[in-house]
Chains A and B, each alone.
Chain A
């Protein structure tokens, strides 16, 4: 199927009549996924957004329920968001991150109705990466610039138009509803060529990484990684797979709401006990937790690495801490190889 670029704003308008549509929007020097009211707001001249689109399903701050307590009793009101959404132009790495996040919010014992309701009401329209960034290393994390995991539709930019592939039934239904035309052979060939020439320049060797992490919790290597870390948590806030949160009350007297906010394992208060004891006292333990969680604990529990190689933690780190170098160091190998 095909979408001509000049037809895209109109098509987004049509979608916005039925769905909340989220698309990349220019915000100063960078892009962010924002809800758009009309198709002209979207700007697809982006490599990826500064903050991942995970916040559309798992908002940075969200009300779980509101309550009021009176002499007669308590009333609680759940705030589950059931509106239908489309994320238009999500990158393959970010779509894959949602598959990983599903494991957390739908675990062996509990289900999170806030995330899961949004998730089942959201259609993911992916945008393949013809020109990945220098910090991208998705191909080392079991993904790729044209990876279809988790997507409903995948768009490939061929210059004047996007070639559209339906990945899931949801995607087929959406394409049918939009009455997309068929791509001709030359358009299909152009998409195939884009796929061929897309190159992720950076490779991180992960062979043996998990085996090292299985045994090196007490290794002196952890002494050094955190040395320049400021503990600012830019890495975790901008990570599409980080899901840690805090729960707080916002209330006046006995009327208010319970709210959850993104939190981060890089903060000392994250694990501080009421007694004053803290199992992760310094940056060393916190950095180790971040790496271990992504590359060992998540693998132990869900048989997948909690990193999609989007490179945001590298780009957003104020002191240039590079997870690719940390991983190479742990493996005891030379730093990553750039082609």
Chain B
């Protein structure tokens, strides 16, 4: 029998960083305790893990770091419940458990040679960060075509990974468009909701794939804009979220139709989702 999928790997919290101005999102950096542990956790962008706070419980979060960044895992977590609140209050140096990697990942092999349009909103930018970091790695960058990123937040203080956004802004191998909902003094970038900005940017659908992650209302209104640009359902990739416990397709709560988000997802194409009920 394979190793017990319920047992977490112990990891050390080395950084508890307040990511957003409203302080509701922290980014946690966990370090593997040994090389052997790290080898037992081979992951790809788009996968998630169950993070366990001993004494409180465990909860699933998308992995924000990229496999191209060895030694640690990163998660950006909003403070909403028991486990996330305990994480927010956690002192650096504390041991947590991490169970995974879980779920499928962005289809990096199939995306080779294609232009990639990444659209994110709010704090659903975590596995998208992993994806962008992976593609921008010099040994991977040549495998993919044009990389366009549209990222929106309510205000500049709520954008994640500000230092990296700045770095990406100065590069020529990525087109980054950041936008905020309403004008703010000192903000020189775009203003407008993600769907509107998508319309303005008008990414070409030719030999392209769009990856879209964000709040349901953003997805609802961005979809028609992508369709207007010529994107077909099999050219649109989404990552779903549902309440989860086991993460391995057994506890029965995260299904959408006959597919489990934890085991068969979280990454689905729009074409696949069109075959399933809209129960997510």
Chain A residues in the interface with B (C-beta under 8 A): 64-65, 67, 69, 73-74, 76, 78, 80, 104-105, 107-113, 116-117, 217-218, 243-249, 251-256, 258, 260, 263, 265, 270-275, 277, 279-280, 285, 289, 292-293, 296-298, 300-301
Question: Which residues of the other chain, B, contact A292 by a CB distance below 8 angstroms?
Answer: 257
- Chain B interface, >50% SS class: loop
Tell whether, in the assembled complex, residue B2 and residue A111 are in contact, meaning their CB atoms are under 8 Å apart: yes
Known A265-B253, A297-B255; judge A254-B242 contact (CB<8 A): no
Distance in angstroms from A117 CB to nearest chain B CB is: 8
Please measure, in the bound complex, the distance between the C-alpha atom of A159 and the C-alpha atom of B272, giving whole angstroms.
57
Known A110-B249, A251-B54; judge A273-B255 contact (CB<8 A): no
Tell whether, in the assembled complex, residue A107 and residue B251 are in contact, meaning their CB atoms are under 8 Å apart: no
5 additional contacts (CB under 8 A) given A73-B95, A245-B246, A249-B56:
A65-B6, A76-B8, A78-B4, A107-B248, A109-B249
- Count of chain B residues near A, Cβ 8 A: 43
Q: Report which residue of B56, B78, B252 has the largest number of chain A beta carbons within 10 angstroms of its beta carbon.
A: B252
Question: Which residues of the other chain, B, contact A105 by a CB distance below 8 angstroms?
Answer: 250
- Chain A interface, >50% SS class: mixed
Tell whether, in the assembled complex, residue B95 and residue A107 are in contact, meaning their CB atoms are under 8 Å apart: no
Known A64-B6, A111-B1; judge A275-B250 contact (CB<8 A): no
Name the residue of chain B whose CB is nearest to the CB of A298: B258
From 232 to 280 in chain B, residues with beta carbon under 8 angstroms from any chain A beta carbon are 241-243, 245-246, 248-258, 263, 277, 279-280
Asked whether B145 is an interface residue with its Cβ less than 8 Å from the other chain, the reply is no
Please measure, in the bound complex, the distance between the C-alpha atom of A114 and the C-alpha atom of B53, giving whole angstroms.
22
Tell whether, in the assembled complex, residue A246 and residue B4 are in contact, meaning their CB atoms are under 8 Å apart: no
Distance in angstroms from A263 CB to nearest chain B CB is: 7
Question: Which residues of the other chain, B, contact A301 by a CB distance below 8 angstroms?
Answer: 258
Asked whether B70 is an interface residue with its Cβ less than 8 Å from the other chain, the reply is no
Please measure, in the bound complex, the distance between the C-alpha atom of A74 and the C-alpha atom of B8, giving whole angstroms.
11
Chain B residues in the interface with A (C-beta under 8 A): 1-2, 4-8, 10, 33, 52, 54-59, 78, 80-81, 84, 95, 97, 216, 241-243, 245-246, 248-258, 263, 277, 279-280
Can you list 13 A-B pairs, Cβ within 8 angstroms, ordered by A? A73-B10, A107-B250, A108-B263, A111-B2, A245-B245, A245-B250, A254-B54, A255-B55, A274-B59, A274-B84, A285-B279, A296-B258, A297-B257
Known A246-B245, A297-B257, A297-B258; judge A279-B10 contact (CB<8 A): no
Please measure, in the bound complex, the distance between the C-alpha atom of A289 and the C-alpha atom of B246, giving whole angstroms.
19
Tell whether, in the assembled complex, residue B246 and residue A247 are in contact, meaning their CB atoms are under 8 Å apart: yes
Question: Which residues of the other chain, A, contact B241 by a CB distance below 8 angstroms?
Answer: 273
Please measure, in the bound complex, the distance between the C-alpha atom of A140 and the C-alpha atom of B241, giving whole angstroms.
37
Question: Which residues of the other chain, A, contact B95 by a CB distance below 8 angstroms?
Answer: 69, 73-74
Tell whether, in the assembled complex, residue B6 and residue A274 are in contact, meaning their CB atoms are under 8 Å apart: no
Please measure, in the bound complex, the distance between the C-alpha atom of A74 and the C-alpha atom of B4, giving whole angstroms.
17
Please measure, in the bound complex, the distance between the C-alpha atom of A109 and the C-alpha atom of B1, giving whole angstroms.
12
Distance in angstroms from A6 CB to nearest chain B CB is: 42
Question: Which residues of the other chain, A, contact B57 by a CB distance below 8 angstroms?
Answer: 247-249
Please measure, in the bound complex, the distance between the C-alpha atom of A289 and the C-alpha atom of B256, giving whole angstroms.
10
Tell whether, in the assembled complex, residue B250 and residue A279 are in contact, meaning their CB atoms are under 8 Å apart: no
Please measure, in the bound complex, the distance between the C-alpha atom of A285 and the C-alpha atom of B179, giving whole angstroms.
37
Question: Which residues of the other chain, B, contact A249 by a CB distance below 8 angstroms?
Answer: 54-58
Question: Which residues of the other chain, A, contact B252 by a CB distance below 8 angstroms?
Answer: 243-245, 263, 265, 293
Question: Which residues of the other chain, A, contact B78 by a CB distance below 8 angstroms?
Answer: 274
Please measure, in the bound complex, the distance between the C-alpha atom of A303 and the C-alpha atom of B78, giving whole angstroms.
40
Distance in angstroms from A146 CB to nearest chain B CB is: 31
